[in-house]
Amino acid sequence: MAEPLLELSGVHAAYGDAEVLRGIDLVVGEGEVVVLLGANGAGKTTTLRSICGMVGTRGSIRLGGTELVGRPTEWIIRRGIAHVPQGRGVFGVLNVEENLRVGAWGRKDTKAIEADIERWYGVFPRLGERRGQLAGGMSGGEQQMLAIARGLMARPKLLLLDEPSLGLAQIITRGLFAQLEDINREESVSMLIVEQNAELALSFASRGYVIESGSIVLSGTADEVRGNDEMRRAYLGY
Amino acid sequence: MSPNIDNPAFLLQLLVGGLTNGALYALVALAVVLVYKTTSHINLAQGEMATLGAFVVFALTQQGVQVWIAIAIALVVSFVFGAGVERGLIRPLEKRGIFPVVLATLALFLIINAVIAIIWGTQPVPAPEPFPREIEDKIDVLVGPPPFFITYVALGILAVLVLLLVGLWLLLEKTKLGLGYRAVAANREAAEVMGIPVGRMFMFGWGIAGALGTLAAALVAETAGTLDFNSMASILIFGLAAATLGGFDSVPGAAVGGLALGLIMAFVPGLFTFIEGDLSLVIALIVVLVVLLVRPQGLFGTKTLERV
C-alpha cells in the first residue's frame, strides 16, 4: 500500500445519543481507490460525514498527517477533500456552470478554474451541452456527473463518493465508473467510495472494507474481500 | 363606484401613488426575503431595525451631515447591525429550534422600539429629506381638473427601487459572494461541503436586509413628512403581505409583490369609494388570505417539499 493519505483510527460518531460508528479504523493510500461496503444503516454515510466534520466525532482522522477531528467542515474541505453527497445534492436552482463554480469555491486561480470547467465539459460532454441549464431539470445520471465534476473542481487530493450509482441504470453506472477510473489514473485523485453495488465497486477499487453496525468486520484487498464467503453471501448474492 | 372611474388623470394618479407605496412595500419585502432565503427565519424586528436606521439618518442630519451622506453611513451601520444580530443573537438560538428565534426577534422588536422612544422620544420628528418635497416639487403632466402630476419624491422612490433591483441582481447573479449566497439558499448542507462559509452567507443576507430596511424607513418617513418610533409598524405588515404575494424565497417576487400590493391598495379604495382608505390593512390581509388559499408558495416562490 502507498503512503497513507487518510487515516481513521478509533473513530466514534453519534447523532445525539445514537452512536452510529463504534471505533472505525480505515486507511486510504495516496492515489488509491478504497471501497466501503455494508448494509443500509451500517454507518457508511456517517463515516464520510465524520471525515468532513458534519457529525459529532471522537477518535482520530488524519489527512496527510493533519488532524481533522474537531475542525469545521469549511476548514476540512480546504485541506483537499471533496465530498459528493448521497442523492447527489446538486444545486437545483443554479445552472450547470454555476454548480461547477461553487465547486471551485476555495480556489483563487481564476484562469485555471476556467480551464478546469472546460476540461470537465470534455470528460462529461452532456454537461457542456447543458452548461446554461438549471441542474434541477437534468436526469439523475446527468446530476450525478455534475456532482462528481463539481467535486473535482476543487482539485481535491481525496474524493469521497457516497453511493454514486444510486438510482442510475446499470449502463450509466458502468460508464461512470469507467470515468472515475480514468480520473483516478490520470489525476492521481485518491477515492473513498461508499457503494451498494459491491461487485462493480470491487472491480475498480484496490482495497475494500466491510462495515456492520458501526464496526469494520472485514478488510483486505479487493480480491480478498470478494473471495470471502460471508461477504459474498451478504452483499454479492452468490 | 367612484364618479371619476373614466377619468384618465384620476386613474393615472392612482397608478403612480400605488406604485410609489408599492415600491416601499417592495423594499421591506426584499429585506424579509433576503433573510428568509438562507436562514428560513422571519425577522419580526425588521421594521424596528429599519426605524432605528432612519433615526440614525435623522441624528446625523441634525449634526449637519448632508442627507445622502447620512443615508450612506446609516446603510453601513445597519448592514453591520443586521449581520451582528444574525451572528450574536439568531445563530446561538437556532440550534434550539424555531420558537426561540421567533421570540428573540419579537424581543428585539420591543427593545429597539423602546430604545428609540428613550433616545428620541415618542413625538414625531421632521423626516430627513433626500428628495425635495415642497408643494411645487412635482412634474405637472395633465393640468386638469383633476390634474395629474408626479412628485419628485415619487420619482425618487421609484428610481431607488429600480437601481436597487439592478444592484441586487448584479450582486447575486454576477459575483462570487452572490453565488455563495444562492448556493446556501438552494442547499445549505451541500454548500457547506463545498467549503462555503455558510455562517458568513447568513450574515451577508441579514446585513443586506438591514440596509434595505433602513433605506425603506428613510423613504417612508420622507413620504409621511415625519419620523417616529412607530413609523414602520404597519409598513412591516404590508412588506410581509407583499412577500407572501410574491413568494417568500423569491427576490423578483418581492419586488412584484410589493408593487402589486401597492396598486391593489390604491385602486380598490380609489374605485370603490364605499371602501374607506382606512381599510388598507384589511385589504392587505385579504390579499394574504387569498394567496395562502389559492397559491401558498406565492407568485414566484418555490413549492416546499417536506423531506423525510
For residues B200 and B185, what is the distance between their CA atoms, to the nearest angstrom? 13
Would an 8 Å CB–CB cutoff place A89 in contact with chain B?
yes
Same domain, yes or no, for A227 and A112?
no
Better-scored residue on pLDDT, A167 or A24: A24
Judge whether A165 and A176 are in contact, CB under 8 Å: yes
Of A113, A136, A155, at which residue does a domain stop?
Answer: A155
Same domain, yes or no, for A150 and A174?
no
Mean pLDDT of A211-228: 88
Would an 8 Å CB–CB cutoff place B252 in contact with chain A?
no
Would an 8 Å CB–CB cutoff place A49 in contact with chain B?
no
Torsion, Cα A170 A174 A175 A179, to 10 degrees, reads 150
Using CB atoms, which residue from B187, B197, B198 is nearest to A91?
B187
Does residue B292 belong to any structural domain of this protein? no
Q: Do A91 and B183 touch (CB under 8 A)?
A: yes
Same domain, yes or no, for A74 and A174?
yes
Same domain, yes or no, for A133 and A57?
no
End-to-end CA distance of chain B: 52
Residue A139 has pLDDT above 70, yes or no: yes
Quote the domain boundaries for residue A176.
Answer: 1-80+156-238
Would an 8 Å CB–CB cutoff place A87 in contact with chain B?
no
Does residue B166 belong to any structural domain of this protein? yes
Q: Do B194 and A98 touch (CB under 8 A)?
A: no
Same domain, yes or no, for A170 and A69?
yes
Does residue B2 belong to any structural domain of this protein? no
Best probe of the B interface among A54, A55, A71, A91, by most B CBs < 10 A, is A91
Number of domains in chain B: 1
Q: Give the minimum alpha-carbon distance from A54 to chain B in angstroms, rounded to a whole number.
A: 9
Q: Give the minimum alpha-carbon distance from A103 to chain B in angstroms, rounded to a whole number.
A: 6
Q: How many CB pairs under 8 A join A and B?
A: 62
Task: Name, in order, each residue with C-beta under 8 angstroms of B269's C-beta and a sequence gap of 6 or more.
Answer: B275, B276, B277, B279, B280, B283
Torsion, Cα B149 B153 B159 B165, to 10 degrees, reads -120
Same domain, yes or no, for A75 and A160?
yes
Same domain, yes or no, for A14 and A126?
no
Would an 8 Å CB–CB cutoff place B256 in contact with chain A?
no
Convert the pLDDT of each residue in A14-40 to its tens digit: 988 888 999 999 999 999 999 999 888
Q: Which three cell numbers stand for residue B264?
A: 391593489
Does residue B304 belong to any structural domain of this protein? no
Same domain, yes or no, for A131 and A144?
yes
Same domain, yes or no, for A231 and A166?
yes
Same domain, yes or no, for A54 and A162?
yes
Does residue B231 belong to any structural domain of this protein? yes
Q: What is the largest CA-CA distance in chain A?
A: 51
Q: Do A105 and B195 touch (CB under 8 A)?
A: yes
Per-residue pLDDT of chain B (308 residues; tens, 9 = 90+): 666 777 888 888 889 999 999 999 999 999 999 999 988 899 999 999 999 999 999 999 999 999 999 999 999 999 999 999 999 999 999 888 889 999 999 999 999 999 999 999 999 999 998 888 887 888 887 876 778 889 899 999 999 999 999 999 999 999 999 999 999 999 998 999 999 999 999 999 999 999 999 999 999 999 998 999 988 988 999 999 999 999 988 999 999 999 999 999 988 888 887 766 677 788 888 888 999 998 888 888 877 644 43
Handedness of CA B20, B22, B26, B27 (dihedral sign): positive
Number of domains in chain A: 2
Q: Give the minimum alpha-carbon distance from B195 to chain A in angstroms, rounded to a whole number.
A: 4
Q: Do A103 and B186 touch (CB under 8 A)?
A: no
Q: Are strands A158-162 and B226-227 parallel, antiparallel or unpaired?
A: unpaired
Q: Which three cell numbers stand for residue A11?
A: 473513530
Judge whether B228 and B123 are in contact, CB under 8 Å: yes
Q: Do A91 and B191 touch (CB under 8 A)?
A: yes
Would an 8 Å CB–CB cutoff place A15 in contact with chain B?
no
Quote the domain boundaries for residue B115.
Answer: 26-237
Q: Which three cell numbers stand for residue B4?
A: 371619476
ipTM value: 0.87
Same domain, yes or no, for A164 and A74?
yes
Using CB atoms, which residue from B180, B182, B186 is nearest to A105?
B180
For residues B288 and B242, what is the distance between their CA atoms, to the nearest angstrom? 8
